[in-house]
Each structure stands twice: as C-alpha cells, then as structure tokens.
A and B are shown apart, each in its own frame.
Chain A
Amino acid sequence: EAEVAQSPRYKITEKSQAVAFWCDPISGHATLYWYRQILGQGPELLVQFQDESVVDDSQLPKDRFSAERLKGVDSTLKIQPAELGDSAMYLCASSPGAAFQETQYFGPGTRLLVL
C-alpha cells in the first residue's frame, strides 16, 4: 500500500537554529498538506499545495516558516530560526485532488524538539 514518506522522523535542535523537513506524498497525489500538532491538540493546517502552487498558507508563520513544492511532487518545510514553541509533531498529508469527500493520507510525522 502506498504511503506518505517523511524524514527525519525525529529532530532535536537548539533555538535559533534552522531545521528542514521533507515529505514525499503518495504517487500521483496532487494535493499536499503540512500540519503542526502540538501535544494535546489536534493537527492544525500550516500550508496546502495544489501541484506546485500554494492554495492556503494563512496559518503559516511566514516570518520564520517557509514551504515549497517546486516540481509539484515532494515538499520541504523549513523553520528559521526555530523557537521553543515550535516543538511539535509536523505531519504531511496528501490527497488525490481537493474534492470535499477525498481522504487525506498522513505520513508518520516528524517530531521536533527545540531546546
């Protein structure tokens, strides 16, 4: 069964450092999502791509976060500089399109700890 791949699975960094996460969606999936999940909360959408275009980045803290999906396939999410409050699980998800009833398939996530 096809899966969403993410790396690294775990990342420990010091505040003010830069970190980057990678996501490879299920092959053929046009829509890619990055979510942040703080412990005890539900996932919160950071950015949504349709192919290589950003559809929604309204919740992305653009002063320190950036995301790209240059060829409309895999994607990177970067944080620079990292802050203590960025400690969370970063989840990538993909879906075939953007239709209302489509299921989003999540990757295993990257756990980030900022010290």
Chain B
Amino acid sequence: RKEVEQDPGPFNVPEGATVAFNCTYSNSASQSFFWYRQDCRKEPKLLMSVYSSGNEDGRFTAQLNRASQYISLLIRDSKLSDSATYLCVVRGGNKLVFGAGTILRVKS
C-alpha cells in the first residue's frame, strides 16, 4: 500500500464548477500536511498547508481528518488557470512523502 494515495483523475470540469480532491495517508504518526500544485513539465509549488481546523485561501479550502487519515482540497469557481496536477503531501519526521497527484482540467 502506498503511503499517500490519490485518485489520479483526470477531473474534467467546466469553468465556474466546484471540484473536490481527496487523499488518504497510511502513517498515523504524520505530522504536517500540504497540497502542492504542479503544472505540466514544471516543478511543484506549495499551494497551501492543511491544518486540523481546516483552512481557506480564497477559492481553495483544505480539510484534514486525522481519525480517518484523510485530506481534502476543495476548489470553488474553477478557472482555466487552475488546470494542473495537485499533489497531496504528508510529512513524517523530516521527510516529505508525495502522492502521485490528481489531474484537473478546467474547460471553457
């Protein structure tokens, strides 16, 4: 079983749609959680950290459920520019473990 599992997608959605991605992790001792965004042929960039209380950054909302070892990312009012791969990332100790990513395609 992979340490971090994501639905690879692709999720094809129209502009303006709301879309949600989920991620599960296997290490219950994981300490920190993040969503990274990776554009095609580019490097990953931090989108947002994920806190137990949930957090929001503009159109993006992240949630963490430690009991179920589950992380989610909600994107509201999708834009064409949101098209990318979204990587779920978990830190255990001093090491980041990346999921394989979920592909989002937003179409006009």
Contacts and interface: CB of A to CB of B under 8 A. Distances in A.
Interface stretch (B13-21, B60-68, B69-77, B90-98): B90-98
A90 to B, nearest CB: 11
Contact of A101 (B32, B87, B89, B95): B32
A112 interface: no
Interface stretch (A11-19, A39-47, A62-70, A73-81): A39-47
A108 B89 CA distance: 19
Nearest to A41: B100
Nearest to A101: B32
Contacts of B4: 42
Given A42-B4, A56-B94, A108-B43, A100 B101 contact: no
Interface of A: 40-45, 48, 55-56, 91, 98, 100-101, 103-104, 106-109, 111
Contact of B100 (A42, A48, A55, A56): A42
Contacts of A40: 8, 100
* SS of A interface (majority): loop
21 contacts: A40-B8, A40-B100, A42-B4, A42-B87, A42-B99, A42-B100, A48-B95, A55-B94, A56-B94, A56-B95, A91-B44, A100-B31, A100-B94, A101-B49, A103-B46, A104-B46, A106-B44, A106-B45, A108-B43, A109-B42, A109-B43
A98 B101 CA distance: 24
B86 to A, nearest CB: 11
A40 B99 CA distance: 10
Enumerate the 6 nearest inter-chain pairs by beta-carbon distance, A residue then B residue, closest first. A42-B98, A106-B43, A42-B100, A43-B98, A41-B100, A98-B94
Contacts of B87: 42-43
